[in-house]
Structure 1
């Protein structure tokens, strides 16, 4: 059962990342920053990724240790920053977008982008 739960958490992360990519697909930075619904959808996806990362770290530490290339702590911290700072949150210029202003992955894990 424990192993199945690990795969569940990883699947949640993959799905939330894919969802975030879909939400911003085709949007310019300006359009994204002007669309509160899309911002909220991406934020929720990031919270899901962070929560699942936390559960992997807490429930399956050997797996997390074996995959140090994945930024587990950063994802957990991102979730905490979003949740703790929700009412102060203001989208930053690069949220969900690459430097050229086109839609991109909100997190490295999302689309495998660097």
Structure 2
């Protein structure tokens, strides 16, 4: 299982987010077909795909001479749940601070 920081690091790059979106929308692609639709070289796409693969967001499967990549959104969903839990914790803390401030204002 990928740590949330690995997923967030991989998604910090706008081109990686674009690649992941294309893979999720189209069901998969090769680095060559992705590069044809993006303003970067196939080698640059391959490097971005490697970063996404390390984060567990894509999986590569050999298809003849090429590798076909598909999105795996499981790590993204787990990271989203983690962020939701973190937000809920902060909301609880901020509510407690607000309550303390209001109690002090109206003794």
TM-score, with normalisation over the residues of structure 1? Answer: 0.31
Instruction: Decide which structure has the larger Cα Rg and report it.
Output: 2
TM-score, with normalisation over the residues of structure 2? Answer: 0.32
Which protein has greater RCO, CA pairs closer than 8 Å, 6+ apart?
A: 1
